[in-house]
Structure 1
Amino acid sequence: MQIDIDHLRGWIGREESQSELLTGALVQRFNATFDRSSPLEDGAEAPRLIHLCLGQPAAPTAELGPDGHPARGGFLPPVPLPRRMWAGGAFDFHGPIRIGETVSRRSVIGDVRVKEGRSGTLCFVTVTHHVESDGRPALTERQDIVYRAAEAPGKQPTSGPTSEPEPAPQGASSRRIVPSAALLFRYSALTFNGHRIHYDAPYVRDEEGYPGLIVHGPMQATLLAQYAADLRGAAPATFDFRSLSPIFDTGDFTLNAEDEGTEMTLWTASLAGPVAMRAVAKW
């Protein structure tokens, strides 16, 4: 497919702003989703990465595309490739987000580029989010979004090498996660994410050719960041991650970690599967 990259790069520098009051009720639902607990009163420090649940786009249902995403061509460039996923990103934490404060996000398109991959043409869009809590800098996030073509009917998408991938190693620390339908639905609801690959099993199998529902990239990143904080007893100052292959709800997956002193390497993997997401946390 021919992509007019010069046209798409015209979106570089485009900005969008959103804000939302963080309530104890939202923190309670966030904690319930991840089987965790934390203080819920105003002024209490909120869990890390809860900003992903705040100020999300609220396009009318009638304006959603067939995959459940908002129609393209507004803030994000109108990339003419139908499949869209989170490819990775990074978080630099500057200060806490507190319950009862208004969380604001200023998002800026930083780059748009096209490359040829094993699965064909790929378009990468980089977005930088500047997040504040009651006017105080809270974090800076880089988000990498990848678009690709649809596979031919009946053909499973190519997301990695054509040869059988090596099973991921088990970390010195490891925790097993059950990707239940309830967990995936709750996270989609928390983030107001209508992408059907996370909750619509017939769609993801019949239209996109995957064997099951796909575990959200942001949810994997949240689980790994929580795991890093649990193991160290303190939340990391920076957290970088990259998605390498999908995890489906057809089986359990694991969180893994290797503590290397100045930093911690973490990864997710389905049982006997390849590394799905790799991350580095630093304090």
Structure 2
Amino acid sequence: MKKLDDWVGKQEKRVEIIHQQSLNGYAALMDEDIPASALVPPGGHWMYFLPTDKQSRLDLDGHAFKGDFLPPIELPRRMWAGGRLSFNNPLQAGDLAEKTSTIKSVTPKEGRTGKLVFVTVEHEIRNEKGLCLTEEHDLVFRAASTEGVSGTKQPQAAPTDGEWDVTITPDPVMLFRYSALTFNGHRIHYDREYCINEEGYPGLIVHGPLLGTLLMRLAVQKMNSRSLKNFNFRNYNPIFDTRPFTITGKADSEDRCTVWVKGPDGELAVSATAEF
């Protein structure tokens, strides 16, 4: 833990051609017609620049071993805590694009359930026309669960004044398809036995970026399909595949709205703001 600060400033770069197949897969997941638009939708960048670690380099949870790009944090449980995105120029199929990722901060803390380490990674995606997107991605690492208890805190209640309620019924196929689109090997999204026995959860966990993508999509649809400029979101509590959940929100002004995910018991799962 004493040398985690050494990772601040560490960078990695990936270059690839943005391909249409992932956009068609995204449209299919969202139950939309294909072929999809060639424009990468908000959240669609998470389907590109994917890790391709060797099978022998994967840890028990399905993620790559830490200590290469991410710091060697001695806490096994990894969750997506939230992020902040700014959209500049459109990214579309056929673009030759480059993603630069930089470790911005590594912050150990002591939480109610024990030690925590927060890692913030900045991503910049550029194409031949310049900067397309900037993202600050927050990760949290926690200790292993004990005696089948996941260590989740008592959830706060979600707001009750949402005007755009949409019910989502997650299932293992939906989660598998999103994992496939993002080449995400994290077992909490597809291995129910691992979720229950190793991490103490009652079911499969819906991906944090999938929830963020659903909220961005809702915000764009309800704000007259305008171009999204900024999106900030925070994950509070997990959503499982065992029961339906709700995405909702309301307009705050002509150029801003608040959207959130409400769990099956009325708990706040994700809260976000979108600016246009």
- TM-score, L = length of structure 1: 0.93
Match of 1:272 in 2: 265
Q: C-alpha displacement at 1:239, in angstroms?
A: 0.1
Distance 2:159 2:252 in 1: 18
Residue 17 of structure 1 aligns to a residue whose secondary structure is strand
Is the CA contact (8 Å cut-off) linking 2:84 and 2:135 kept in structure 1?
yes
Distance 1:126 1:54 in 2: 19
Range 12-21 or range 67-76, more displaced: 12-21
Range 222-231 or range 271-280, more displaced: 271-280
Match of 2:193 in 1: 202
Match of 1:166 in 2: 157
Corresponding residue to 1:10 among 2, 6, 10: 6
Aligned residues: 274
Q: C-alpha displacement at 1:37, in angstroms?
A: 4.1
The code of the aligned residue for 2:236 comes to L
Give identity over the alignment, percent. Answer: 40
Match of 1:122 in 2: 116
List per-residue Cα deviations over 1:157-201 (Å, max 9, x = no partner). 12223xx64365251111011111111001101111000000000
- TM-score, L = length of structure 2: 0.95
Is the CA contact (8 Å cut-off) linking 2:87 and 2:133 kept in structure 1?
yes
Residue 74 of structure 1 aligns to a residue whose secondary structure is coil
The question of 1:259 aligning with 2:251 is answered yes
List per-residue Cα deviations over 1:42-83 (Å, max 9, x = no partner). xx4222221111011110111100000000100000010010
1:216-255 to 2 correspondence within 5 Å? 216-233=207-224, 234-255=226-247
Structure 1 residues without counterparts, runs of 5 or longer: none
Match of 1:28 in 2: 24
Match of 1:109 in 2: 103
Residue 98 of structure 2 aligns to a residue whose secondary structure is strand
The code of the aligned residue for 2:264 comes to L
Is the CA contact (8 Å cut-off) linking 2:145 and 2:198 kept in structure 1?
no
The code of the aligned residue for 2:17 comes to L
The code of the aligned residue for 2:15 comes to S
Distance 1:140 1:167 in 2: 28
Corresponding residue to 2:125 among 114, 122, 131: 131
Distance 1:167 1:229 in 2: 21
